[in-house]
Chains A and B, each alone.
Chain A
Amino acid sequence: MPDASVAAPGDSGWRKALLMAPALAWLGLLIVLPHAELAVLSFREQVGPRHYVPSLSHYHEFFHEPEYWHTFVRTAWMSIVATFATLCLAFPIAWVIAKIARGRAAVWLFLACMIPFWISETVRTLGWMILLRETGVLPALLVKLGILAHPVEFLYHDTTILVGLIYNSMLFMIVPLISSLESLDNALIEAAYDLGANGFTVLRKIVIPHAAPGITAGSIIVFMLTLGDYITPTLLGGKDSGWFTEQIYTEFITRFDWGQGAAFGFLLLVLSTLIVVAGLKLTGQRFGDVMGRT
């Protein structure tokens, strides 16, 4: 393999090896081997004290216990809904920042979008809990305004979980959207308009095709974050939120059934990988490009 770097030829061999060592240690010891271990754990069954045989029993268990795969499907479905809703809500804001607001106004608006994400998810979720719980701000306000007769519990509904998930995902959708909208030449929109296209046609034929890479990148990131979220579903959804990450925690930490937990972890990983690959295939993009964009 020819060495294309400009470094002095004599020392580049060991220099390269030295530079490569941290990356290999990091990826090998913290990513590749742990996931191999996870795979081994999930594909074996304990038949005696410290005696294991290869088996699919943990996956079998998953498909035969309705509670497990219900939770799984529910998590996936709600993540898809949350991703789509985030896209719809974030798009107008990204458009305003990229195309309508000028100079300082755009910068301020963008900063305003970023501020909540400087603060940890725990704090943001605390805010939603204070707002929405039965004794919270929103029920009290609605009673005062005469809209409700009695305070109502707004926590522990699926909609509440969705609101929390959308809230947490906003920035990760807005940033890639802005960067893809900014590169859209206004002249194209003007031309379409001059040729008689209405707003909807411009959006469908010009804006969305151009913004597709940003939409894909944002959706993939938001979907993965939502799928892997833990705080928001468990706190806003309560004890029976039915989120798959909670299931994994229960198996691993509470029940200490690592084999089952590992199988769940793998299923979640497969699901998120499949959706990412499907998203990339659908829009004909490559993984490296999408991740580089964010």
Chain B
Amino acid sequence: MIPSLPRPAWLRVATALYVAAFLGFLFLPLIVVSVFAFNDAPYPAPPWHGFTLDWFFANDPAGRLGMFHDDELMHSIWTSCKVGVWVTLLAVLVGLVNALLLERHEFRGKKLLSILMLVPLVIPGVILGISILAFASQIAQFLNDHFHWYVRFLRPGLPLVVLGQFSYIATIATLTLRARLSRFDRTLEDAALNLGASRAATFRTILLPYLRPALVGTAMMSFLLSFADFNTTLMLVGGNPPLTVLMYGRMHEGATPVLNAVSVFLMAASALLAIALLRRGPRRASA
């Protein structure tokens, strides 16, 4: 029960134990992944054979190849980054326009449109993937039959991966940006306009700075979601797999500790991103 009511000792102990067990459940897989990135053995399995950094830095073409020398792996990380940047740019831009549209304009079918914008979140990622794949192929086929055009980006590959991920990340961007915009005090803009500022200047000097924290937050979230996406990507990927798809393939074949090393690398990157977000936190609160 709540602290203001008497809680029997057994309940307090049980609560504490449950929280501890729960945290163990949450962190055990991550700890295990990290530990075996440093084990001096060819398989990520016990027993412990001693500490090594080989799975990061080794460069022995005949033997161990650390993640930083595994070209296929490094290339897939680069691919994920490229896809992530495109998805982020598209999602933030479209999310911002949608937020402005829904918060500031009335039009017929507005309710329908705002509900339709939520729909991508409830469609399983696999289905988003196959539907976009089928539609793109249909268009490609049509262009080929009628105009003899061969449109490469409509075939499975990174452009389709970007569009597939964007199709649902745009919803999340719209939701967060709209939430921030709805708390904006319109009189600030009216004041700027009354004082002779142009619409563009008002947008740049009043609205954009106000939205900045939400824009940065949305961008980070979009990038992270894109980087982690698997379901949609799997259906649309061509011969150039992003990291999640490559890792999945290798895990099917039987993992080596290189994957643990990549995981540690990803965790470190996520931690840095999280710290950056948290440091931004207080300023956001005072804004």
Contact = CB atoms under 8 A, between A and B. Distances in A.
A120 B124 contact: no
A52 interface: no
A33 B132 CA distance: 9
A248 B121 contact: no
- Contact-residue bracket for chain B: 35 or more
B140 interface: no
Interface residues of A, number: 91
A183 to B, nearest CB: 14
B194 interface: no
B252 A131 contact: no
Contact of B252 (A23, A186, A220, A235): A235
B188 interface: no
Interface centre among B25, B105, B131, B260 (most CB of A within 10 A): B131
B101 A16 contact: yes
A269 to B, nearest CB: 6
B1 to A, nearest CB: 6
Contacts, number: 257
A16 to B, nearest CB: 5
Interface stretch (B42-50, B51-59, B61-69, B210-218): B42-50
Given A137-B32, A189-B2, A125 B134 contact: no
Contacts of B26: 112-113, 115-116, 167, 170
Interface stretch (A24-32, A56-64, A65-73, A208-216): A24-32
A165 to B, nearest CB: 13
A44 interface: no
19 contacts: A20-B101, A37-B135, A38-B131, A93-B22, A112-B26, A115-B26, A116-B26, A116-B27, A120-B266, A121-B244, A123-B30, A124-B30, A126-B255, A189-B2, A202-B1, A234-B252, A245-B231, A248-B126, A287-B115
Given A41-B134, A102-B3, A127-B30, 11 more contacts: A100-B2, A112-B26, A119-B270, A126-B33, A126-B44, A135-B46, A228-B126, A230-B125, A249-B234, A269-B124, A276-B122
Interface of B: 1-5, 15, 18-19, 22-23, 25-33, 36, 43-47, 93-94, 97-98, 100-101, 104-108, 113-128, 130-135, 138, 163-164, 166-167, 170, 175, 186, 190, 224, 227-228, 230-231, 234-235, 244, 247-248, 251-252, 255, 259-260, 263, 266-267, 270-271, 273-274
